[in-house]
Amino acid sequence: MPQRIAVIAGDGIGTEVMPEGLRVLDATARKFALELDFQTFEFGSCDYYLSHGKMLPDDWFEQLKGFDALFYGAVGWPDTVPDHISLWGSLLQFRRRFDQYINLRPCKLMPGIKSPLAGRAPGDIDFYVVRENTEGEYSSVGGKMFEGTEREVIIQETIMTRTGVDRVLKYAFELAQSRPRKKLTSATKSNGISITMPYWDERVETMAANYPEVNVDKFHIDILTANFVLHPDWFDVVVGSNLFGDILSDLGPACTGTIGIAPSANINPQGHFPSLFEPVHGSAPDIAGKGIANPIGQIWSGAMMLEHLGHQAAADAIVSAIEAVLEEGNPAVLTPDIGGQGNTQTLGRAITEQVFHC
């Protein structure tokens, strides 16, 4: 049976990088004899909002829940639709309703990409940030009292459930176990946040007992962010709560260069619902329509999707193809954000051809 993938390009450069993501996936599917069935949806974009008054149709959940994965471009066109409407009305709905409790971002310095950190070469930075994606600090529990008076009080609670904490830790430990270095770093702040963070630490210790091969350490979030910059080579798998993971999952990829190449996954590991794969970048209105967006974030997200769907060799071939094209560094092929004079299509095509050699 073919695996079914829902394709939502979204807005701006999302519609420009998506065809390149699909081009590479098509070629990879041919090479590895994968049966992938793509179905494109127009909703989840600001154009859809302007003609329908909402980002998604009422039955979106029914329409999408049977798919094996969602392949997303980028959403947002702030000139016509406010960002909180476009984002909450689409991506955040998927993350919540499809219980995508893992947000996963690789932080890998690629050949030919200049790290903002001095003296770092490919191989020095190669780790994953695993972010809890459903609870923690981002809760709706709380409220306001005595608003507008001297006694005004504002409360927002952090919610940590044993289920929620254990399942993200389990995912992170499994990932660490599967990697050669087998190292896991936990982000904490148990010196200052004296109830939830000691609980988080306790669950890390309990979980660690199931993974004797995994080397575990932890840092308070403040020094951890410093160490991302000072010693990115220390890390292999880094796991954090929703807030800490949010910060680390922007900082990590930033340490490896341009936003145009960073991929991400929102995963429901048990596969009860489809997981979602998308580049880290947004719709980039400043360059949209020019055909110069870097398609690597989208293409690499496609590799993460194949890995999730069980096609490790195919996923590895895509990542190797990206590395080979970046290593070659032909300015006629590369997009301007990484120093080339090429465009979205020249780069997408070069990676597609390279897949057949990887």
Structure-token match 């048990």, residue found? 270
Q: What is the distance between the alpha carbons of residues 275 and 84, in angstroms, rounded to a whole number?
A: 22
Catalytic residue among 11, 49, 189, 211: 189
Q: Which residues contact 280 (CB under 8 A, 6 or more apart)?
A: 105, 250, 253, 259, 262, 263, 264, 297
Q: Give residues 89-148 in contact with ligand NAI (rule: CB under 6 A).
A: 91
Catalytic residue among 65, 222, 233, 290: 222
Q: Which residues contact 247 (CB under 8 A, 6 or more apart)?
A: 221, 225, 240
Radius of gyration of the chain from Cα atoms? 21
**Residue 222 catalytic?**
yes
Q: Which residues contact 297 (CB under 8 A, 6 or more apart)?
A: 17, 259, 260, 261, 262, 263, 279, 280, 281
Report the residue from 22, 55, 64, 75 that binds ligand NAI according to the rule CB under 6 A: 75
Catalytic residue among 124, 201, 250, 316: 250
- The least distance separating ligand NAI from the CB of residue 119, rounded to whole angstroms, comes to 25
Binding mask of the shown chain, residues 237 to 276, with x at each position contacting Mg ion by CB under 5 A: ---------x---x--------------------------
**Residue 72 catalytic?**
no
Catalytic residue among 138, 199, 201, 218: 138
Q: What is the distance between the alpha carbons of residues 284 and 281, in angstroms, rounded to a whole number?
A: 8
Catalytic residue among 68, 126, 236, 246: 246
Under the binding rule (CB under 6 A), the answer on residue 293 touching ligand NAI is yes
Query: Beta 102-108 vs 126-132: how paired, if at all?
Result: antiparallel
Cβ closer to ligand NAI: 66 or 339? Answer: 339
**Residue 218 catalytic?**
no
Q: Which range binds ligand NAI by CB under 6 A, 20-28, 197-205, 224-232, 284-292?
A: 284-292
Q: Which range binds ligand NAI by CB under 6 A, 134-142, 148-156, 292-300, 309-317?
A: 292-300
**Residue 246 catalytic?**
yes
Q: What is the sign, positive or negative, of the torsion defined by CA atoms of 3, 172, 187, 296?
A: negative
**Residue 114 catalytic?**
no
- The least distance separating ligand NAI from the CB of residue 157, rounded to whole angstroms, comes to 27
Which of ligand NAI, Mg ion, none does residue 159 bind to, with CB < 5 to 8 Å depending on kind?
A: none
Q: Which range binds ligand NAI by CB under 6 A, 57-65, 141-149, 190-198, 281-289?
A: 281-289
Q: Contact positions toward ligand NAI, by CB under 6 A?
A: 13, 74-76, 78, 83, 87, 91, 259-260, 278, 281-287, 293-294, 297, 337
Catalytic residue list: 138, 189, 222, 246, 250
Interface with Mg ion (CB under 5 A): 246, 250
